[in-house]
Amino acid sequence: MIETVQQVKERRDTALAVLVARLPYVGFLGMRFDRRGDELTAILPFRDMLIGVPAPPALHGGLTAAFLETAALVELAWSSTWTRMEAGEPSVALPRTINMTVDYLRPGLPRDAYARARVVRFGRRYASVHVEAWQDNRSRLFAQAMGHFLMPEGV
């Protein structure tokens, strides 16, 4: 049986929803992911509780780091299990963070934030991921990060 485009889209969206549901912090932050093919964009809708510096208002630094790390984890898990998800196999264990270096380039303003991660190196034991975060203008990053992750066995 040949799947329709809509069936493929629904299957992929469901696989992403199952993956994201495994990270409770995503729900706590109110994050969501926009999927276009195999490319993911993490979205952090602004809420007052995300402010860490009251005057002038800026996003909390720890929140920014968590946003970048979560975007990296989801991208790495999504890209590393893409073939398995396409085949309908159950998901594998999530990667574990080894370390994460965050560059705070400018204050995160009180508005929605976006992040996109790119897998730089993917090996059997570990992977490196670069993440960029912006708000109004994709070319004006407010933070970026480089993370190293321990890959689960069998990926």
What is the reported pLDDT for 6?
A: 87
Q: Is 25 a member of any domain?
A: yes
What is the reported pLDDT for 108?
A: 95
Number of domains forming the structure of the chain: 1
Q: Is 125 a member of any domain?
A: yes
Please name which of 6, 9, 108 lies closest in space to residue 66, comparing C-alpha atoms: 108
Please name which of 134, 97, 100 lies closest in space to residue 23, comparing C-alpha atoms: 97
pLDDT of 29 strictly over 70 = yes
- CATH code of residue 38: 3.10.129.10
C-alpha distances out from residue 117 to 16, 72, 75, 80, 82, Å? 15, 5, 6, 13, 15
Q: Is 141 a member of any domain?
A: yes
Q: Is 108 a member of any domain?
A: yes
pLDDT of 88 strictly over 90 = no
Residue 20 CA, distance from chain mean position: 9
Q: Is 53 a member of any domain?
A: yes
> Phi/psi of residue 17, each to 5°?
-60, -40
Q: Is 155 a member of any domain?
A: no
Please name which of 146, 115, 142 lies closest in space to residue 61, comparing C-alpha atoms: 142
pLDDT digits (tens, 9 = 90+) for 54-76: 888 999 999 999 999 999 999 99
Residue 119, exposed/middle/buried by CB under 10 A (0-12, 13-18, 19+)? Answer: middle
> What is the domain range of residue 124?
5-150
How many CB atoms within 10 Å of residue 21?
Answer: 10
